[in-house]
Amino acid sequence: MPLVHITLLEGRTVEQKRKVAARITDVLVEDAGAKREAIVVAFHDTPRDSYASGGVLMCDKT
């Protein structure tokens, strides 16, 4: 069972997540031979104040 974890800064719409999940699922079916019904895509929405890049919280970046 392929399990794909995707961590994003919060703010993506449900429609955006639907499209991403569908495309990732398609790739795993087509290129990895996975069974569509066995693929799980889990989204983890992270607040901007809980994610840092280069030592700086995303909420502090302009």
Determine the average pLDDT of the residues in 13-32.
Answer: 98
pLDDT value at 27 more than 90: yes
Catalytic residue among 2, 8, 24, 43: 2
Q: Among this protein's residues, is 47 annotated catalytic?
A: no
Averaged pLDDT, 14-34: 98
The pLDDT mean for the chain works out to: 97
Rounded to a whole number, what is the largest CA-CA distance in the chain? 42
Whether 62 has a pLDDT exceeding 80, the answer reads no
| Angle at 54 (CA atoms; ends 49, 57), nearest 5 degrees | 10
Residue with tokens 């800064």: 9
DSSP helix/strand/coil, 12: coil
For residue 52, is it left (φ>0), alpha (ψ between -120 and 50) or beta? Answer: beta
How many structural domains does the chain have?
A: 1
Whole-model pTM: value is 0.87
- Domain containing 54 equals 3-60
Instruction: Render pLDDT for 52-61 as a digit per residue (tens, 0 to 9).
Output: 999 999 999 9
CA 43/CA 20 separation, integer angstroms: 10
The CATH number linked to 41 is 3.30.429.10
